[in-house]
């Protein structure tokens, strides 16, 4: 049965899909968002995983969302309440020491001085250079990659502005931009700092979510990309009251107020193509919805190789897309706790140090060894972890006196030697065993685990290969090459079919940049 024809159908109600829908609605269109699951949000959702215990199921911190999106969508008016604890991250060491880094670089330097006076002196210098460089990169991330073969006047103007901004950095920082991007992040941090714990916690930003180790060439690029959204060397801690699902619920409310229609439990199984152009979608119920344009918030492979019949694409394009890399490396473990664990490295059980992110990965070599195992299809037995205890800053997430802990575990390769279902319990045990030396009473406090493998990320949450960024962030899959060279402008080879998810530029996680950029370009196409 065919529905009435719509202006626009958007596949997927993740944050980028909702942002794109909002801007299109504000421009006078009537988008229909179709979400496969029972709730919108994609990777930004909150679920009750044990009676009385709620947690950000997947992503546990904001990118942060671009300030322009927060302002335009009036997210706080629609119920989003952002939480920014003073402690950005606390890195724990097996020798019983802890390094807490803060929003304020001066306060961070004081904490670093306990480890190294030299590093304390150099940290503000590194932070200042990174902040200046990140401003320029942020400008580039906020623009659509140029058409390399036939640049428009707008493309030329954007490139000119970026060029001027780069020149404005001065010779020293311009040299750093050109040199840092292709570097291994381990080499970059070693040039500035001697403290292994400090090196590791900064380097971790360059490997999170990627199939890269700190010694991999180009891992410094991701540090720069992430710094474009948040220039703190180790990143800040941006949370949302009620968990990440509260953020996407606010986005959905803003979109609906602008005129967007949202349907949940509506699974698209096919994008209809006729005469070289998309003209609608087919749902799993058999319902066909016609549309003037189809926009996919799904990853590029799922959109063009699964939802679309590849017969509508050139063999060359299909071959290139098949080689677009996107095998996940991150698993997620959520814990319901009977109380607050005692971390032995924190004096007097300093809870303030635990309100941000908690980093487990004390040395560069530790991070590299964790990566080594994943190369051969094994999950790391001594993994790099990033944990949060969101109930410390949001008491609504757990019963009084009890807590939830959210843990990213890396590396957990999507392509595992063996069966992920059989290894699920072992993965959870590995995470707890890795945390236990730092918080010895943690194991006895656990009421339940929620264990999410890379295979779950694909099968339950729709991320091909379990890749949280919809494709590796790497030198050859960035900017004009994201997802493919000549196809970085949110269009596809099929007319009226567009992409707006994290598999497009800039693709840097929960910032909303891909959705906002896509809306700008799609509006230009639709108005033609």
pLDDT value of position 116: 97
Contact status, residue 486 vs residue 226, Cβ threshold 8 Å: no
Share of the chain residues as helix, strand and coil, in percent rounded to the nearest 5: 40, 20, 40
Percentage of the chain with pLDDT > 90? 84
Phi/psi zone of residue 315: left (φ > 0), alpha (ψ -120 to 50 degrees), beta?
alpha
For the segment 396-428, what is each residue's pLDDT rounded down to a tens digit? 999 999 999 999 999 999 999 999 999 999 999
For the segment 274-293, what is each residue's pLDDT rounded down to a tens digit? 999 999 999 999 999 999 99
Phi/psi zone of residue 483: left (φ > 0), alpha (ψ -120 to 50 degrees), beta?
alpha
Q: Is 80 exceeded by the pLDDT of residue 164?
A: no
Tokens of 346: 């924190």
Q: pLDDT-derived band of residue 156, with 50, 70 and 90 as boundaries?
A: low
pLDDT value of position 162: 66
Q: Is 70 exceeded by the pLDDT of residue 505?
A: yes
Arithmetic mean of pLDDT, 469-481:
92
Instruction: For tokens 């500035």, name the residue.
Output: 192
Radius of gyration of the chain (CA): 22
pLDDT value of position 146: 81
| SS3 label, residue 280 | strand
Contact status, residue 19 vs residue 512, Cβ threshold 8 Å: yes
Angle ∠(202,511,469) on CA atoms, nearest 5: 75
> Cβ-count burial of 523 within 10 angstroms (0-12 exposed, 13-18 middle, 19+ buried)?
middle
Q: Is 60 exceeded by the pLDDT of residue 3?
A: no
pLDDT value of position 161: 66
- Work out whether strand 403-410 and strand 384-388 pair parallel, antiparallel, or are unpaired: antiparallel
pLDDT value of position 236: 87
Tokens of 109: 């330097």
Average pLDDT, whole number, for the chain? 94
Quick count: other Cβ atoms within 10 Å of Cβ 127?
Answer: 19
| Terminal Cα distance for the chain, rounded | 30
Arithmetic mean of pLDDT, 74-87:
96
Q: pLDDT-derived band of residue 142, with 50, 70 and 90 as boundaries?
A: confident
pLDDT value of position 123: 95
Q: Give the Å distances, CA to CA, from 190 to 79, 122, 341, 483.
A: 43, 12, 33, 32
pLDDT value of position 140: 84
Q: Is 90 exceeded by the pLDDT of residue 468?
A: yes
**pTM listed for this prediction:** 0.95
Arithmetic mean of pLDDT, 137-141:
86
Question: CA-to-CA distance for 19 and 500, rounded, in angstroms?
Answer: 9
Arithmetic mean of pLDDT, 494-513:
94
Q: Is 80 exceeded by the pLDDT of residue 326?
A: yes
Q: Is 60 exceeded by the pLDDT of residue 433?
A: yes
Contact status, residue 341 vs residue 445, Cβ threshold 8 Å: yes
Q: pLDDT-derived band of residue 166, with 50, 70 and 90 as boundaries?
A: low
Q: Is 80 exceeded by the pLDDT of residue 170?
A: no
Angle ∠(42,376,426) on CA atoms, nearest 5: 60
Q: pLDDT-derived band of residue 136, with 50, 70 and 90 as boundaries?
A: confident
Q: Give the Å distances, CA to CA, from 519 to 110, 142, 179, 332, 410.
A: 44, 12, 33, 31, 33
pLDDT value of position 503: 97
- Which of the pair, 163 or 370, is modelled with greater confidence? 370
pLDDT value of position 47: 97
Q: Give the Å distances, CA to CA, from 382 to 199, 205, 414.
A: 18, 18, 17
For the segment 508-521, what is each residue's pLDDT rounded down to a tens digit? 889 999 999 999 99
Phi, psi (deg, nearest 5) at residue 430: -65, -40
Angle ∠(185,191,193) on CA atoms, nearest 5: 95
Q: Is 70 exceeded by the pLDDT of residue 157?
A: no
Please report the domains of the chain, with CATH numbers, ordered by start residue. 6-47+57-81+243-325+470-527 (3.50.50.60), 104-229 (no CATH), 327-459 (3.30.519)
Instruction: For tokens 């590791």, name the residue.
Output: 200
For the segment 202-260, what is each residue's pLDDT rounded down to a tens digit? 999 999 999 999 999 999 999 999 998 898 999 989 999 999 999 999 999 999 999 99
């Amino acid at each position: 049965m065919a529905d009435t024809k719509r202006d626009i159908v958007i596949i997927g109600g993740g944050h980028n899909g909702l942002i794109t829908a909002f801007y299109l609605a504000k421009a006078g269109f009537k988008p229909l968002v179709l979400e496969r699951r029972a709730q919108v949000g994609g990777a930004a959702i909150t679920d009750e995983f044990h009676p009385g215990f709620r947690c950000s199921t997947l992503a546990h911190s904001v990118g942060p969302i671009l300030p322009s999106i927060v302002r335009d969508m009036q997210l706080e008016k629609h119920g989003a309440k952002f939480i920014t604890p003073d402690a950005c991250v606390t890195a724990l060491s097996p020798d019983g020491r802890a390094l807490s880094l803060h929003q304020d670089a001066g306060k961070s330097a004081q904490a670093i001085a306990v480890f190294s006076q030299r590093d304390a002196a150099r940290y503000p210098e590194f932070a200042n250079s990174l902040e200046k460089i990140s401003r320029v990169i942020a400008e580039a991330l906020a623009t659509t990659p140029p058409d390399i073969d036939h640049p428009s006047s707008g493309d030329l103007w954007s490139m000119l502005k970026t060029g001027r901004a780069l020149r404005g950095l001065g010779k020293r920082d311009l040299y750093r931009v050109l040199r840092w991007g292709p570097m291994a992040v381990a080499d970059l941090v070693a040039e500035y700092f001697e403290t292994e714990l400090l090196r590791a916690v900064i380097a971790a930003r360059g490997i999170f979510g990627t199939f890269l180790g700190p010694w991999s060439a180009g891992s410094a690029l991701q540090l720069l990309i992430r710094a474009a959204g948040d220039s703190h060397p180790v990143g800040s801690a941006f949370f949302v009251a009620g968990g990440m699902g509260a953020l996407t619920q606010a986005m959905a409310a803003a979109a609906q107020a602008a005129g967007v229609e949202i349907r949940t439990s509506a699974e698209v199984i096919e994008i209809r193509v006729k005469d070289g152009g998309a003209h609608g979608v087919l749902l799993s119920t058999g319902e066909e919805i016609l549309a003037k344009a189809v926009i996919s918030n799904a990853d590029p492979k799922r959109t063009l190789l699964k939802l679309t019949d590849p017969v509508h694409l050139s063999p060359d394009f299909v071959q290139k897309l098949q080689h677009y890399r996107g095998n996940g490396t991150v698993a997620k473990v959520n814990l319901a706790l009977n109380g607050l664990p005692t971390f032995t490295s924190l004096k007097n059980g300093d809870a303030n140090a635990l309100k941000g992110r908690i980093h487990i990965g004390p040395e560069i070599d530790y991070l590299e060894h964790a990566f080594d195992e994943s190369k051969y299809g094994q999950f790391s037995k001594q993994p790099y972890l990033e944990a949060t205890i969101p109930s410390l800053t949001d008491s609504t997430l757990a019963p009084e006196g009890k807590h939830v802990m959210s843990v990213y575990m890396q590396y957990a390769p999507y392509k595992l030697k063996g069966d992920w279902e059989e290894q699920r319990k072992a993965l959870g045990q590995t995470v707890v065993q890795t945390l236990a030396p730092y918080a010895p009473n943690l194991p006895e406090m656990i009421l339940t685990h929620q264990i999410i493998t890379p295979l779950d990320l694909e099968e339950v949450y729709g991320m091909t290969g379990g890749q949280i960024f919809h494709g590796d962030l790497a030198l050859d899959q960035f900017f004009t090459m994201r997802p493919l060279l000549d196809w970085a402008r949110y269009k596809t080879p099929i007319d009226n079919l567009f992409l707006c998810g994290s598999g497009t530029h800039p693709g840097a996680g929960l910032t909303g940049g891909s959705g906002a950029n896509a809306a700008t370009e799609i509006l230009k196409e639709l108005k033609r």
